[in-house]
């Protein structure tokens, strides 16, 4: 018998799905566009009356800035569920999206050139409307 199809694993999976549903109040999409690499920091308002998972996210982000995927791994939750919670915390001003330190003009130019190259590969015939 396959261990993944055992009654215990099916029950564990069902419990996990129910937990995710309860944690996000049934929501599956975040209001903010967040990638797995989105870095989050502490917000302006101290949170009150938050669910346990949200409190833990805020606590972790107060220790240091953390990417969304690290929060999901630390909490043992699916990234989609953490995205919903983080989006709520951003709206409540309990978390922020910190602006990274200015890396210098050379790195900025390299990043922009990489973006332009990617766009040109994806849409080779595209032309800018800017003057």
What is the tens place of the pLDDT at every residue in 52-101?
889 999 999 999 999 999 999 999 888 888 999 999 898 888 999 887 66
pLDDT at 44: 87
Burial-class residue 112 by CB neighbours within 10 Å (0-12, 13-18, 19+): exposed
* Of residues 13 and 86, more confidently modeled: 86
Mean residue pLDDT across the chain? 76
Which of 24, 23, 59, 22 has its CA nearest to residue 42? 59
CB atoms within 10 A of CB 49: 6
Q: What is the pTM of this model?
A: 0.61
């Amino acid at each position: 018998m396959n261990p993944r199809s055992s009654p215990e694993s099916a029950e564990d999976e069902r419990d996990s799905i129910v937990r995710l549903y309860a944690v996000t109040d049934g929501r599956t999409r975040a209001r903010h566009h967040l990638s797995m690499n989105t870095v989050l920091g502490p917000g302006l308002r101290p949170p009150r009356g938050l669910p346990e998972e949200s409190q833990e996210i805020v606590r972790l982000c107060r220790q240091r800035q953390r990417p969304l995927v690290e929060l999901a791994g630390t909490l043992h939750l699916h990234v989609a569920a953490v995205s919903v919670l983080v989006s709520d915390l951003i709206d409540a001003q309990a978390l922020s999206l910190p602006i990274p330190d200015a890396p210098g003009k050379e790195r900025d130019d390299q990043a922009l050139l990489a973006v332009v190259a990617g766009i040109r590969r994806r849409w080779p015939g595209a032309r800018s409307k800017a003057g």
